[in-house]
């Protein structure tokens, strides 16, 4: 009974965190700087009317209102309930960490998943990887990984070095691309994203994340080219590919590495 209660609690917390991610996605990319604050009541993005408190219940309100604003009946994006449900299952799926006494690691993983989901959609929808999301993530992970490690100082140096490597890796590639194509291939947001992922995942996993993201981006670019929906100069949401790749490496990184060693190296 206790385990069931904890799982229900984590699922509910995940729904609430998913709702917060939706707030970050919407407000951190707002064109008007005055609308970027996470504080204050939510408004309908279409009519601007305040959303009633009873209409802010994660997942439930979306379905009761049939995905529409109560005031103007303008449909909301399905992204809202997808993000909420994804975070709920993510919080539930990482429950074993709590059983093993890894409370701090659980919190860090939840925050990382929130960051990846938020940045996936901000880059996909607006082509932005906002500093208001990334910089707090970087600082939180530096503190968290240092606190959780038995040798705090060495862990801090290791995390900072991995972060610098992640940022520097993207910067160098971007400079090469500028010389080759006379335009930027990566943005500053991509470099910052690689930096905090380097702190959390480590430089080995970071390289795997980058190369998988590059592969996904290449495949997507070819699809757009074949369908005549893009050209070789079409900008792709590389941050979104990084977010997906981070999830894949976190779940199946060891398995993919063994396949690579068995079929490519040998």
Domain with 50 in it: 1-102
Nearest to 10 by CA among 76, 103, 75, 78: 103
Distance CA 226, CA 38 (A): 41
* 162-184 tens-digit pLDDT: 888 888 888 888 888 788 877 77
Domain-located, residue 146? yes
- Residues 163 and 231 reside in one and the same domain: yes
- Residues 98 and 137 reside in one and the same domain: no
Distance CA 19, CA 41 (A): 13
Domain-located, residue 117? no
Which residue would you say has higher pLDDT here, 233 or 79?
79
CB within 8 Å of 169: residues ≥ 6 apart: 194, 206, 207, 210
Domain-located, residue 197? yes
- Residues 42 and 163 reside in one and the same domain: no
Which residue(s) pair with 43 in the sheet? 50
Distance CA 144, CA 139 (A): 9
The SS3 of residue 45 is coil
Distance CA 234, CA 129 (A): 18
Structure-block tokens of residue 133: 């999301």
Taking 60 as the threshold, does the pLDDT of residue 136 lie above it?
yes
Which residue(s) pair with 123 in the sheet? none
Contact 162, 206 (CB under 8 A): yes
Distance CA 56, CA 76 (A): 13
Domain-located, residue 111? no
Contact 112, 50 (CB under 8 A): no
* 26-79 tens-digit pLDDT: 999 877 766 667 777 788 878 878 888 888 899 999 998 888 888 888 888 999
CB within 8 Å of 56: residues ≥ 6 apart: 19, 42
Distance CA 211, CA 191 (A): 14
- Residues 4 and 88 reside in one and the same domain: yes
Q: What is the DSSP string of 97-120?
A: HHHTT-HHHHHHHHHHHHHHHHHH
Task: Return the residue matching tokens 């590389």.
Answer: 238
Nearest to 166 by CA among 116, 133, 203: 203
CB within 8 Å of 126: residues ≥ 6 apart: 29
- pLDDT band for position 123 (cuts 50, 70, 90): very high
* 65-118 tens-digit pLDDT: 888 888 888 888 999 999 999 999 999 999 999 999 899 999 999 999 999 999
- Residues 98 and 133 reside in one and the same domain: no
Which residue(s) pair with 68 in the sheet? 75
Nearest to 38 by CA among 103, 118, 99: 118
- Residues 260 and 133 reside in one and the same domain: yes
Q: How many domains does the chain have?
A: 2
- Residues 71 and 198 reside in one and the same domain: no
Taking 90 as the threshold, does the pLDDT of residue 125 lie above it?
yes
The SS3 of residue 44 is coil
Contact 14, 22 (CB under 8 A): no
Domain-located, residue 1? yes
Contact 199, 112 (CB under 8 A): no
The SS3 of residue 43 is strand
Q: What is the CA radius of gyration of the chain?
A: 20
Domain-located, residue 123? no
Which residue(s) pair with 75 in the sheet? 68
Nearest to 177 by CA among 161, 190, 164, 165: 190
């Amino acid at each position: 009974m206790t385990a069931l209660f904890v799982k229900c609690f984590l699922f509910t917390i995940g729904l609430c965190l998913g709702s917060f991610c939706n707030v970050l996605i919407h407000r951190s990319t707002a064109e008007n700087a005055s609308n970027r604050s996470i504080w204050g009541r939510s408004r309908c993005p279409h009519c601007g009317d305040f959303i009633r408190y009873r209409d802010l219940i994660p997942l439930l309100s979306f379905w009761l209102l049939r995905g529409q604003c109560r005031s103007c009946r303008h449909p909301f994006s399905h992204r809202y309930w997808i993000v909420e449900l994804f975070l709920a299952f993510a919080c539930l799926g990482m429950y074993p960490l709590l059983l093993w006494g890894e409370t701090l690691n659980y919190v860090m993983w939840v925050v990382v998943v929130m960051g990846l989901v938020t940045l996936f959609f901000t880059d996909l929808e607006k082509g932005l990887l906002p500093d208001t999301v990334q910089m707090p993530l970087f600082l939180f992970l530096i503190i968290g990984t240092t606190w959780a490690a038995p040798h705090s100082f060495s862990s801090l140096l290791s995390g900072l070095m991995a972060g610098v490597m992640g940022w520097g890796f993207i910067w160098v590639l971007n400079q090469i691309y500028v010389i080759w194509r006379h335009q930027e291939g990566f943005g500053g947001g991509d470099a910052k994203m690689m930096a905090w992922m380097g702190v959390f995942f480590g430089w080995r996993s970071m390289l795997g994340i980058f190369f998988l993201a590059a592969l996904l981006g290449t495949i997507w670019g070819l699809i757009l080219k074949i369908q005549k929906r893009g050209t070789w100069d079409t900008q792709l949401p590389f941050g979104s590919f990084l977010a997906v790749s981070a999830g894949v490496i976190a779940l199946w990184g060891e398995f993919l590495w063994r396949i690579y060693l068995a079929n490519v190296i040998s």
